[in-house]
Structure 1
C-alpha cells in the first residue's frame, strides 16, 4: 500500500492510525490464510525517491555495515578478550588464549560479531544442569566423543565421519566432551517458545564477571561415556514426534503473540497458494529485503506454511520439545540445534562446490540467470506440490506459464504475478513472459514423483506443468552471471560454492547456518524474499530492459559478486571452520562443566598485555 506524500495537517495523524489498524486486521485475519487465492499485497513502505533505485540505497547501507564490522577487528589477545567481555557479559572460556593463537596462525580475521551464532545456540544451556547436558550428550546414539585430546565415534554415518575429520584437526586443543549429532537433513529440536524464554531468563542470571583471582582456568576430566557420576542424573524423556504436517511442530517455537502462532492452519494445498507479501513488510524496504536475518524468521510470516515444503511434509520428521545438546548443520529460526559447518562445506565435494570454472571473468559470462535442481523440499504429492518452493520458482521463470497468466488465459497454478508497485517495464507493456524468457534458464532435473509406477522423468500430476532437463555441473553454471539459490529439503549445499565463484548468488532461504553473521546482504550476495515476488525486480535492476530504456546495473552486480568471492576466500575457508568449531566447543565444554560460573580465561587481567 503506497503512502500519500504529504497528508494534510488534519489527516496527518488519522491516516497512519487507520493504516496501522488496517494492517493489524490484515495480519490477524485467519481467512487470509485459507482462501486459497493468490494475493500479492504491496511490499512497499514508502514511495521510491526520484532518481534513486531502492537497491542503490540497500547497497550503500551494506557498505556502511561492512565498514563498521571491519572496524571491530581485534589485533591483540587482550583486545579480543575485552571485546568478548563487552559483548558476552562473561570472561572468555578457558583455553581462549590458545584459541586466539590458533586463529592467528590460521590467519583468521578476529571480529567478535563473527561468533554470534555460537552464543545464540549455547545460551539456553546455561539454564540446564551441567550433569544433565553431559548425560544427554553421551546417552544419544549418534555422537562424537573426545577424551584426552582424541576424538572418536562408533558411527560410520557419512556426516559423522566428515564432522569427525573436522574435529580431529583440532582435537589436541579440546577438553573432554561428548557431542550428540543430528543424522537427518531436517532439524529435530523445537522447544516451545515459552520454555526457551524461561531458559533465557534463567541463563541471564548466570551472566557475570567472576573475580579474576578466583577464576578456574582448567576443564575437568571426564570418565568414559556412561561411567561417570552423571550416569545417575535424571533427564527428561524425549518423545520423538512424527507429525508429517511440520508446521504444527515448528510454530510452537514462535512467540504466542506472533502471526505464526495465531494464524489459522492451512490444510488444503491443492489450490494456488496464498502469497501474502504484506507479511514481508517487517523485513522489506521498498519491495526488497532490507533485514536478511529477519527474512529467515517465519514467525511473522504465517503464509510460509503454504509456501515451503518443510512445513507441508518433510522427507522425515522426528522432533522433540526437550532441549538437549544436539549438533547439526542447519536449522530454522525456531530450532534449537547447535550449528556446525555443514559436512559438504568441510569435505568440499565437487558437486556442491564446483571449484572448476569458479574464476571465469565476469565479462566472459552469459548475461543470464541459471538454476538446475531436483524437485525436493519434502514429499511433493498430487495434492500438495503447489506449496513447494522449487516448483514455484521454476514455474514463475517459465515463459509459457507467464504468458498464460499475463494474458488472462489461465491463472498461475502455484505463483502470483509481481505487484504493480515494482513498476516493471515488461509488466506494464504486457511482455513479462518474453522478457523473462530472454534471460532465465531455470528448470527441474527430476520431478521426484510420488507415484511408484511412472515413466522416467514423468509425473502424473506435475508433468503437465514442468519439463525435465538434464542436470548441469556447477562448473558449467559458472558461465552464467546470476545464480539463484533455492533451498531443497533443508539448506542449499551449493551456497558456499556460489560465494566462492565470480558469479552473483541470489539467496532465498529460511535456514540458518554457521557463517550467517559473517556475510552482509547486498555486499557479498543478493538476498531474495522466499516468496520470490522481488525476483523480477532484482533482475530488472541488474539486467535492465533495453526495449523500455531501463538501464542495467551490471557493474553493481559484478562488484557484489567479486566482493563475495574475495570475502569468502577471507572468512569462509576451511581454516575459518576450524577456528569457529574450536571456539564453539570450548564454550560447549564450559557450559557442560559443574564449575562453569567460576570458569574462564583471565590471563590478560592478571598479567596485563599478552
Structure 2
C-alpha cells in the first residue's frame, strides 16, 4: 500500500512534467517571454522559490506518511514560516548552495547570449542532456538511494558503472540522431553567423556549457531529494536557491539598465509581453516543481529523457504540419535517423529500467515490460510516420505554373479595364463609377495630356485614391499648415516645391546632395504646371518613409474622409480651382536665415539604428492580427504561418498582401529598415509627406521617383540582348545599404542574407551542374568536355570574385539551358556600420580582413544575364524599372511599395519573392530549367513590352499630373464643391 501511494505522485509528476515541457515548447517561437531571458528567468525563479515551500507545506506531510525518506513526524503540522525559517540559513552559505546558485545564474546569462544570437545556435543540442548526465554520474559514481520496491539501491558501483557506460553510448547516439533530424528538418531564414573570431561563433559552445550546467543542477537536486538528511529542508533549500537566483538576476538587470536602450527594453513591456511572461513562467514553474518531486523517485537521466523527448516530439509535430518531415523521411538517411530517434528513446528507457534507475510502477516490473520498450518505440515511429503522410501537403516539389496561369488572366483583365475609356465623356463617367465623386477640376486637361502621350492607363488610379483618402478626413487649412511645418524645418530633410500662377519654384534650405531630386521633380511638373492650382508640396528627401498613423486614428480619418466625399458627390453644381485660401499659404520660411537648420520638430522623433517594428508598425494593425497576438523572435527559424496568407505551395500568390506586416511579426528581425534603419525620423501624425516609396503600413503619399525619371540607371542606347543569347545565370551586384549595421544587426538584413544564400547555392549548383554534365555530353569529344568544364569553372569563379569582369566565352544556348551560374556579390567597402560590424561584414563576405573589396562592374553587365534579382535597400531599389525593360527576368523581393505597384503584376511581368527568400531557389530552379523556361521567357518579354508602354517618363508625368490635381482639390477650402463637369 505504501509503495502504491509513493508511486502514484511520481507518475502524476512525470505526466505533469511532460505536459508542461510540451506546452512550453509549443509556445517557444511565438512567446515574447523567450525574447526576454532575464525577465523570464527572474519571474520563473520567483514563482518557483515561492511554490516549492508551498508545495512542501501542503503536500510533503501527506507523502511523508509513506515515504521512508522523510524525517518529519507525519502527524505534525507544517507551516510555511517554519520552512522558510529552517536552519538552512546556515546551509545556504555552503559550497553546494554556491555551486547551484552559480549554475542557475550562469545558465541564464548564457541563455540570454544564445537568444541574442540564436541564428548561430545549433538546434537539438538539448537532446544530449541524458548523455551529459550519464557522463557526470560516471565521473561521480555516488550511491543513489532510490525508493524502489521498499529498499535502497546500494552497492551499485561496479554494476552501475557498466550500465551507465552502455546508457551513455546509446544516449550519445540518440543525441546525434535527434540533432541530425532537427538539422534535416530545419527551415531557416538564411540569417548569417559571421566568419572569423566573432563572439557569435561561440554560441554552440555556450549551449553546451548551458547543458553541462543543467546536468550539474539536475544531478545535485536529485542528490538532495534522494538523500537522507531531511526532505523538508531540501524543499526549503531549493526555494531559497531560486529566490536568491531571482535576486541576483534582478541586480544584473538593474545594473544593465544604466544603458538607455537596455533601460527601455527592461522597463517598457507591452501587455502581450507581460501576458506571455506570466503564462510561460507559471508553466515552467509547474515543470520545475514536478521535476523536483520526480527526482526523488527517478534517476536524473530518466527525467532528462522525459524532458528531451517531449521537446523534440513537439518540434517534430511542427514539421509534420508544415510538410517538412515527409521530405526528411523520404531521404534514406533521414528515415534512418528518424527510426533511431524513436527506437533509441525506447532503448534508453529499457537500459534505465535494467540499470535499476527507471520510473517506479505499481507492479514492480516497470510501466511496460522491459522487453517491449523497443517494440513500443518502433510502433510510435510508425504512427508518427503515418501522421506525417496524412497531414503533410501533397507534392514534394510544387511549381508556380498554376499561379503564373492565373496571373496572366488577371493581368490581361486589369489592363483591359484600366484603359477602356476612349473619350473624355467615358473617362468622366468611369471616374464617377469607380470613385463615387466627380473628377477634379482640369480633368479634361489631364485627359488631353494622357491621350497625347498614348497612356495605356486612363481609368485605374486606385493607388492615388487610397493614398489620399485619409487626408479627406483632415481640414484643408490643417494640411496647409502641416506642409508649411515640414518645409520650415530643414532638419526634417524635406524638399519643397512651390507652385504659384503656373510657375514652379524650389524651396531653399535643401542639402546640396539632395538638390538634384527637386530639380528633376521640377522638370517632371513643367509640362502641366499651368493647369495646377497654387500649392506647396513637401517631398521626403530621405530613403525611409515618414508617416505611421495608429489604426484607430487612421480609421477615424478614413470615416471622415468618406463623409466628405459623399457630400461632394451630392453636389449638383461644381466649381473650378480658386485662388483664395484662408489662411493662405505661409511663405515666411522662404526668407529665413540659417538658424532654422537647428530647429527640431516636436512631431517627428529620431529612430535611427534601432528596431521600429513594435513602435511604428504594430500600432497600425488590427487587434486580431498576428502582430498583436504573438512575437516571432527567433530570427533563425522561418515562420511558415506568418507567410501563409500570401503564399501558395511555397510561392508568393498575393503580392499586395505580402507587403502587409500585420500578419508577419517575424519580419521585425529580417529587414534592415525594420531592425536598424540608417535614417529614420517618423511621426504618428498624418503629415502630408510625398515619398518615393513606403512600407505598406505607412501613410506617405507615393509619387514617381526622380531617380527613375532622371534616368539615373538606364539601358545604354536601348541595346538589349535577346533572351536566347543571355547567360542562364542569377546576377546581382550591390551594396549593403538596407540598414545600419550595429550590434550584429546586419546578420539578418535582406541583402546580406541573399548574398550569403547565393554563396552557399553556388557550390551546390555548380556541383549539380557538373554531375549532370558528363552523362548528358557523352557525344562530345574530350576537348569539348574540357571546354564546357572550363566555362563552368570560369562562371563560378566570377561569382566568388566579383571584382573581375566575367570573361568566359559565351556558352551555346543549349549549354546555357542546362547550366545555371550564380553570380552574386557585394561590391566596395562596407560603410553603413560601426567599426566592429564593418570588419565582420568584410571578413564574412570577402574572406579576410585584408582582402580587397570587389569593385563595381559596369551596370550594363546586367543585361547579359537572364535572372536579375532586385531587393530593397534603405528603401525601394531604383534598378527595377530598367530590369523590366531589359528583357531579362526580374525577381523582386521587397516590402517597400511604389507608385506603379498596381500596374506591374507579379508572375506576369516579374517574379515576386517573399523577403524570407525561402522561395528564391525553388523559383529559379523552375524558371531556369527546361519545364519553366517557356514561362520565364514569356514573363521577361511581357514585362519588357509592358514597361515600354506604361512605365515611360511620360507615364510618370501622367500619374503625377493626376495626383496633383487630386491634391490641389484636397488642400482647397472649397474642396467639397470642386470638380469637373462636362459642358
Under TM normalisation by the shorter chain, which class is it? 0.7 to 0.9
- Say whether 1:443 aligns with 2:839: no
Matching residue of 1:428: none
| SS of equivalent residue, structure 1 residue 469 | coil
Give me the whole-angstrom Cα distance separating, in 2, the residues matched to 1:111 and 1:26. Answer: 51
1:483–1:498: 8 Å Cα contact kept in structure 2? Answer: yes
- Say whether 1:313 aligns with 2:676: yes
Q: Cα deviations across residues 236-280 of structure 1 (Å, max 9, x unaligned)?
A: 9624343632223331222233222443385xxxx9633213211
- 1:248-267 alignment, distance < 5 Å: 248-251=614-617, 252-264=619-631, 266=633
Q: 1:92 to 1:502 in 2, by over 3 A?
A: same
Q: 1:151 to 1:43 in 2, by over 3 A?
A: farther
Which of 555, 564, 573 is equivalent to 1:214?
A: 573
2:741–2:838: 8 Å Cα contact kept in structure 1? Answer: no
- 1:317-328 alignment, distance < 5 Å: 317-328=680-691
Deviating more after overlay: 245-254 vs 37-46: 37-46
Which of 944, 950, 953 is equivalent to 1:565?
A: 944
- 1:492-511 alignment, distance < 5 Å: 492-511=877-896
- 1:364-443 alignment, distance < 5 Å: 364-399=725-760, 438-443=820-825
Matching residue of 2:19: none
Q: Cα deviations across residues 56-86 of structure 1 (Å, max 9, x unaligned)?
A: 1111111111221133121111211122111
Structure 1: tracts of 5 or more residues without a match: 1-23, 229-235, 407-432, 545-550
1:385–1:391: 8 Å Cα contact kept in structure 2? Answer: yes
Give me the whole-angstrom Cα distance separating, in 2, the residues matched to 1:33 and 1:297. Answer: 23
* Offset at residue 198 of structure 1 (A): 1.2
Matching residue of 2:916: 531
Matching residue of 2:343: none
- 1:53-72 alignment, distance < 5 Å: 54-72=399-417
| SS of equivalent residue, structure 2 residue 465 | helix
Which of 171, 195, 205 is equivalent to 2:529?
A: 171
1:69–1:111: 8 Å Cα contact kept in structure 2? Answer: no
Matching residue of 1:20: none
RMSD of the alignment, in Å?
3.3
* Offset at residue 30 of structure 1 (A): 3.7
Q: 1:288 to 1:385 in 2, by over 3 A?
A: same
Matching residue of 2:586: 226
Give me the whole-angstrom Cα distance separating, in 2, the residues matched to 1:356 and 1:46. Answer: 52
* Offset at residue 446 of structure 1 (A): 3.1
How high is the TM-score relative to the length of structure 1? 0.80
Which of 104, 112, 122 is equivalent to 2:451?
A: 104
Give me the whole-angstrom Cα distance separating, in 1, the residues matched to 2:35 and 2:525. Answer: 45
Which of 448, 459, 479 is equivalent to 1:133?
A: 479
* Offset at residue 465 of structure 1 (A): 4.5
- 1:157-168 alignment, distance < 5 Å: 157-168=515-526
- Say whether 1:203 aligns with 2:570: no
Q: Cα deviations across residues 400-450 of structure 1 (Å, max 9, x unaligned)?
A: 8977xx9xxxxxxxxxxxxxxxxxxxxxxxxxx999995211111135256
Structure 2: tracts of 5 or more residues without a match: 1-25, 37-114, 120-185, 189-318, 325-390, 488-494, 589-600, 768-798, 801-816, 848-852
| SS of equivalent residue, structure 2 residue 731 | strand
- 1:546-585 alignment, distance < 5 Å: 551-585=930-964
Q: Cα deviations across residues 466-505 of structure 1 (Å, max 9, x unaligned)?
A: 4543322221111000001111111101011101111010
* Offset at residue 311 of structure 1 (A): 1.0
Which of 642, 655, 661 is equivalent to 1:279?
A: 642
Matching residue of 1:95: 442
Q: 1:212 to 1:109 in 2, by over 3 A?
A: farther
1:274–1:303: 8 Å Cα contact kept in structure 2? Answer: no
2:411–2:908: 8 Å Cα contact kept in structure 1? Answer: yes
| SS of equivalent residue, structure 1 residue 460 | helix
Q: 1:262 to 1:481 in 2, by over 3 A?
A: same
* Offset at residue 187 of structure 1 (A): 0.8
Q: 1:333 to 1:211 in 2, by over 3 A?
A: closer
Matching residue of 2:708: 345
1:93–1:601: 8 Å Cα contact kept in structure 2? Answer: yes
Matching residue of 1:21: none
- Say whether 1:154 aligns with 2:507: yes
- Say whether 1:303 aligns with 2:670: no
Matching residue of 1:18: none
Give me the whole-angstrom Cα distance separating, in 1, the residues matched to 2:945 and 2:412. Answer: 15
| SS of equivalent residue, structure 1 residue 440 | strand
1:491–1:511: 8 Å Cα contact kept in structure 2? Answer: yes
1:330–1:490: 8 Å Cα contact kept in structure 2? Answer: yes
Q: Cα deviations across residues 320-350 of structure 1 (Å, max 9, x unaligned)?
A: 111121111000011111111111111001x
1:356–1:475: 8 Å Cα contact kept in structure 2? Answer: no
Q: Cα deviations across residues 344-398 of structure 1 (Å, max 9, x unaligned)?
A: 111001xx22445652101110011100111111111352221211110011111
1:75–1:110: 8 Å Cα contact kept in structure 2? Answer: no
Which of 648, 654, 662 is equivalent to 1:291?
A: 654
2:830–2:842: 8 Å Cα contact kept in structure 1? Answer: no
Aligned length: 532
* Offset at residue 557 of structure 1 (A): 0.8
Q: 1:487 to 1:447 in 2, by over 3 A?
A: farther
Q: Cα deviations across residues 128-161 of structure 1 (Å, max 9, x unaligned)?
A: 1111111211332231110100111123522222
- 1:2-151 alignment, distance < 5 Å: 29-30=31-32, 36=118, 39-40=187-188, 42=322, 47=393, 54-72=399-417, 73-113=420-460, 115-141=461-487, 142-151=495-504
Give me the whole-angstrom Cα distance separating, in 1, the residues matched to 2:448 and 2:650. Answer: 45
Deviating more after overlay: 380-389 vs 280-289: 380-389
- Say whether 1:598 aligns with 2:970: no
Give me the whole-angstrom Cα distance separating, in 2, the residues matched to 1:191 and 1:282. Answer: 24
| SS of equivalent residue, structure 1 residue 562 | helix
1:206–1:597: 8 Å Cα contact kept in structure 2? Answer: yes
1:94–1:219: 8 Å Cα contact kept in structure 2? Answer: no
* Offset at residue 535 of structure 1 (A): 0.8
1:27–1:259: 8 Å Cα contact kept in structure 2? Answer: no
Higher Rg: 2
- Comparing both chains, which one has the higher relative contact order based on Cα–Cα distances under 8 Å and sequence gaps of 6 or more? 1
Give me the whole-angstrom Cα distance separating, in 1, the residues matched to 2:931 and 2:33. Answer: 41
Q: Select the structure that is richer in helix.
A: 2
- Say whether 1:479 aligns with 2:864: yes
- Say whether 1:517 aligns with 2:880: no
Q: 1:436 to 1:303 in 2, by over 3 A?
A: farther
1:327–1:338: 8 Å Cα contact kept in structure 2? Answer: yes
Give me the whole-angstrom Cα distance separating, in 2, the residues matched to 1:285 and 1:25. Answer: 25
